[in-house]
């Protein structure tokens, strides 16, 4: 049977819905849309949408807010105590600062005179990071 303009528009709407749902990419959508408007019969139109599922009913397609997964529970006494809201890099960074002070101290001993204490500049992130979340602790 010969397809009418309203039939072509219905298939075009179904293709648009499939594009919106992510079932088709833009290139495939354009290609199928061109074939839709060039179709002469219902058979031509059916071949364009047979591999697509029907639309999801509205009552099942509601959007729900994202719930992040719960943090894994640890046994009491396991894990470190750290400030809530404190940057997570401060623990490892303090180790880097300690190594830099050791290098500075060895260079002072090796040269035989006092060298500018450059590792002091590396303390700035530790000091500023220590001000955030003061007094709040969590396990």
Residue 80 near residue 91 (C-beta atoms within 8 A): yes
**pTM of the predicted model, to two decimals?**
0.39
Query: Tell me, what's the pLDDT at 97?
Result: 85
Inform me whether the pLDDT recorded for 84 exceeds 60. Answer: no
pLDDT in tens, 53-81: 766 566 565 666 778 888 777 655 555 55
Q: Which residue has the higher pLDDT, 85 or 49?
A: 49
Residue 125 near residue 90 (C-beta atoms within 8 A): yes
Q: How far is it, in rounded angstroms, from Cα 32 to Cα 11?
A: 10
Contacts of the segment 89-97: beta carbons below 8 A, 24+ positions apart: 90/125, 90/126, 90/129, 90/130, 93/125, 93/126, 94/126, 96/122, 97/122, 97/123, 97/126
Chain segment 100-138, per-residue pLDDT in tens: 999 999 999 998 888 888 888 888 877 776 655 454 555
């Amino acid at each position: 049977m010969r397809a009418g303009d309203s039939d072509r528009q219905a298939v075009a709407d179904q293709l648009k819905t499939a594009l919106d749902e992510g079932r088709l990419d833009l290139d495939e959508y354009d290609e199928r849309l061109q074939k839709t408007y060039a179709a002469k019969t219902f058979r031509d139109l059916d071949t364009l949408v047979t591999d697509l599922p029907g639309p999801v009913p509205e009552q099942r397609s509601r959007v729900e807010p994202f719930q992040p997964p719960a943090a894994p529970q640890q046994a009491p006494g396991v894990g470190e105590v750290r400030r809530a809201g404190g940057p997570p890099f401060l623990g490892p960074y303090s180790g880097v600062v300690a190594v830099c002070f050791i290098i500075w101290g060895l260079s002072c001993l090796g040269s035989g005179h006092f060298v500018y204490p450059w590792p002091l500049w590396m303390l700035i992130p530790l000091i500023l990071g220590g001000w955030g979340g003061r007094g709040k602790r969590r396990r």
